[in-house]
Structure formats: structure tokens, C-alpha cells
């Protein structure tokens, strides 16, 4: 991977010598950097919450991106970036819709918990924990959607190739 010499990278792209594996590494490292940058200290959140969010985010990104790449290379090994970008957009929209529904349910649960279950003074901890759980669920849902789409595409590609060969 070239980290600084952009003209060298341009040359590889122009000559078609940049491998898909190297391009994947650029995407992978870029997503990790974006994830890390998103959790730089910036608010009133307790430090432990920031660290847990960072861990959840990194784990989800590393698991999801690597798994989609493995599925793609183990299948027809074509159009990874086209698939990843297109499918991730639709997966994000679906996750947003599910997130809005979950947020509504979470608000009702938190309202009930605040007034009937959680002792006074403990609600902020409860709220942080439920939000972390909610975030983890959405992260898993997003990457699960991507992974299952990659599996379906590669399975469909295998059946199409078998039909074309016959």
C-alpha cells in the first residue's frame, strides 16, 4: 500500500496494476480511520461509553468488511467495490428505518423504566447501557444485511455460471 506518494498510486491506477486486494486494503484502513476519528473526545459522554462505542464500531467494521470481502473472493470474485458501495447504501437506509422503529420502542421502555423500575439517580447509567445495546444491535443488523446480500449474490452467480456452462 502506498501511504503518501499519490502520483505513484495514480500511476498504478492508470496502468491497471492496482490489485483488488490492495484496493480492498485501502477501503479497510480508510473505514477504520473514519471509525476512530468519529470517537475522538468531543462531548459530555462518560469516557467508558466512548470506549465501548469505539470497540463496538471497530469490531463491527472489521468483522463486516472482512466477511463481505471473504464471501466475494470465495464466490465469483467480481465487482466487490461496486457491490459494497451499492449494497451498503441500501443497507444503511434499511438500518435507519429499523433504527427509527427501535428508537421509538426504546423511548417507551426508557420512559417506563425511569418511572417504575430504575431507582432514582441510576437512570443515566441505564440510559447509557440501553443506548449502547441499541447501537450494537443496529451495527450488527447493518453488517448482517450486507453479508447476507453478498452471500445471495455469490450464490446466484454460481447458479448462473452453472447454467451458462451447461
> Bigger pLDDT: 45 or 130?
130
What is the Cα–Cα distance from 161 to 96, expressed in whole angstroms?
Answer: 35
Whether residue 98 is predicted with pLDDT greater than 90 in this model: the reply is yes
* % of the chain beyond a pLDDT of 70: 92
From residue 72, how far is each of 22, 37, 60, 85 by CA, in Å? 15, 28, 18, 13
What is the Cα–Cα distance from 63 to 70, expressed in whole angstroms?
Answer: 10
Q: Cα 52 to chain center, whole Å?
A: 16
Q: What is the pLDDT of residue 159?
A: 62
Does the pTM exceed 0.85? Answer: no
Whether residue 49 is predicted with pLDDT greater than 90 in this model: the reply is no
Domain ranges (residues) in the chain = 44-165
E strands, 83-148, in order:
none
Amino acid at each position: 500500500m502506498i501511504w503518501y506518494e499519490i502520483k505513484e498510486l495514480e500511476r498504478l491506477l492508470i496502468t491497471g496494476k492496482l490489485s483488488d486486494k490492495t484496493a480492498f486494503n485501502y477501503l479497510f484502513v480508510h473505514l477504520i480511520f473514519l471509525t476512530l476519528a468519529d470517537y475522538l473526545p468531543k462531548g459530555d459522554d462518560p469516557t467508558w461509553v466512548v470506549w465501548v462505542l469505539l470497540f463496538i464500531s471497530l469490531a463491527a467494521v472489521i468483522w463486516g468488511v472482512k466477511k463481505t470481502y471473504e464471501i466475494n473472493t470465495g464466490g465469483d470474485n467480481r465487482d466487490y467495490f461496486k457491490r459494497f458501495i451499492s449494497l451498503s447504501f441500501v443497507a444503511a437506509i434499511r438500518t435507519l428505518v429499523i433504527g427509527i422503529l427501535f428508537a421509538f420502542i426504546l423511548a417507551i421502555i426508557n420512559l417506563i423504566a425511569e418511572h417504575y423500575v430504575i431507582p432514582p439517580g441510576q437512570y443515566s447509567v441505564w440510559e447509557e447501557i440501553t443506548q449502547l445495546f441499541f447501537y450494537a444491535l443496529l451495527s450488527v443488523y447493518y453488517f448482517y444485511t450486507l453479508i447476507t446480500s453478498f452471500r445471495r449474490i455469490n450464490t446466484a452467480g454460481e447458479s448462473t455460471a452453472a447454467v451458462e456452462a451447461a
